[in-house]
Amino acid sequence: MNTVKEEAIESLKTLDENATWDDLFYNLYVRKKISEGLADLDQGKYVTHEEAKERLFNRWKLSGQKPA
């Protein structure tokens, strides 16, 4: 597993020469969120596709809106 510093360096290497600070911070943010999501998966913290659909359907039902 790479350290945060190594991940940041890899992010810098992938950026275009004309990248902005916003591009850099967005790239780092996305990498962080992906890393957190993979860690959650490893710990069994996820919902199935069917469970996600059911949760959304129930939310729509409670709001009185029709699902698209």
Residue 14 carries which side chain, given as an amino acid letter?
T
Backbone φ and ψ for 48, nearest 5 degrees, come out as -75, 165
Is pLDDT at 66 greater than 90 in this prediction?
A: no
Question: Rounded to whole angstroms, how far apart are CA atoms 4 and 32?
Answer: 9
What are 11-44's pLDDT values in tens digits? 999 999 999 999 999 999 999 999 999 999 999 9
- Which structure tokens are listed for 18? 């004309």
Q: What is the mean pLDDT of residues 33-62?
A: 94
Is pLDDT at 1 greater than 80 in this prediction?
A: no
Residue 6 carries which side chain, given as an amino acid letter?
E
SS3 39: helix
Cβ neighbours for 55, distance < 8 A, ≥ 6 positions apart? 47
